[in-house]
């Protein structure tokens, strides 16, 4: 790089310094005309300005990319959360349907067994005709109390 100072001529005193100042400067490979050094200096300045501009652009694009990445991740997490909620809701619905089927099956079994008992045995055991309604009452009672699982057994 050029220091911008004139180079003294070999063996010349003050006269040599004055002559060097006029048209020549010390360059990388020796004496180079002053106009060429000025041109190189301007090119180096332009390159540095370009580098700064490129770094600024890179920083701006990197921050935009990070912003988009964060937004994408937020949307992905929200989507996964919605999926989990839907799956949990579907699972609860399945459990409810299965529980209702179980109750209806138990009612049908109880009716069948009751119908095939003798009259004296029917009086002793009795039959709860409205089992499904009892299940609903127990279910809503447990729901009001805050129990999360549905009632699985009718007393």
Q: Which residue has the higher pLDDT, 20 or 69?
A: 69
Integer Cα distance of 48 and 81 in angstroms:
49
**For range 9-26, the mean pLDDT:** 46
Whether 25 maps to a domain, the answer reads: no
**How many domains are contained in the chain?**
1
DSSP summary character for residue 24: E
Confidence (pLDDT) at 146: 72
**pTM of the model as a whole:** 0.42
Whether 140 maps to a domain, the answer reads: yes
Whether 21 maps to a domain, the answer reads: no
Confidence (pLDDT) at 144: 74
pLDDT value at 4 more than 70: no
pLDDT band at 33 (very low <50, low <70, confident <90, very high): low
Confidence (pLDDT) at 10: 47
Tell me if 103 sits within 8 A of 116, measured CB to CB.
Answer: no
Whether 51 maps to a domain, the answer reads: yes
**For range 102-119, the mean pLDDT:** 87
Confidence (pLDDT) at 128: 54
pLDDT band at 12 (very low <50, low <70, confident <90, very high): very low
Integer Cα distance of 117 and 111 in angstroms:
10
Whether 18 maps to a domain, the answer reads: no
Q: Which residue has the higher pLDDT, 13 or 80?
A: 80
Integer Cα distance of 152 and 155 in angstroms:
10
Whether 40 maps to a domain, the answer reads: yes
Whether 81 maps to a domain, the answer reads: yes
Tell me if 91 sits within 8 A of 102, measured CB to CB.
Answer: no
Whether 19 maps to a domain, the answer reads: no
Q: Report percent pLDDT > 90 for the chain.
A: 39
pLDDT value at 24 more than 90: no
Q: Which residue has the higher pLDDT, 104 or 1?
A: 104
> Where in the sequence is the domain holding 51, given as residue range(s)?
32-145
Sign of CA dihedral 127, 130, 132, 138: negative
């Amino acid at each position: 790089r050029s220091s911008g100072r004139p180079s003294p001529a070999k063996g010349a005193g003050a006269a040599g310094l004055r002559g060097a100042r006029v048209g020549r400067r010390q360059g990388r490979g020796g004496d180079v005309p002053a106009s060429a050094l000025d041109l190189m200096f301007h090119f180096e300045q332009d390159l540095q300005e370009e580098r700064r501009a490129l770094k600024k652009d890179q920083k701006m694009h990197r921050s935009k990319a990070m912003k988009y990445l964060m937004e994408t991740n937020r949307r992905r997490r929200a989507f996964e959360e919605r999926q989990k909620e839907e799956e949990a809701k579907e699972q609860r619905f399945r459990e409810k349907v299965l529980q209702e089927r179980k109750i209806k099956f138990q009612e049908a079994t109880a009716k069948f067994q009751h119908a095939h008992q003798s009259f004296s045995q029917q009086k002793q055991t009795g039959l709860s005709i409205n089992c499904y309604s009892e299940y609903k009452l127990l279910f809503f009672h447990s729901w009001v109390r805050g129990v999360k699982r549905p009632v699985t057994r009718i007393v």
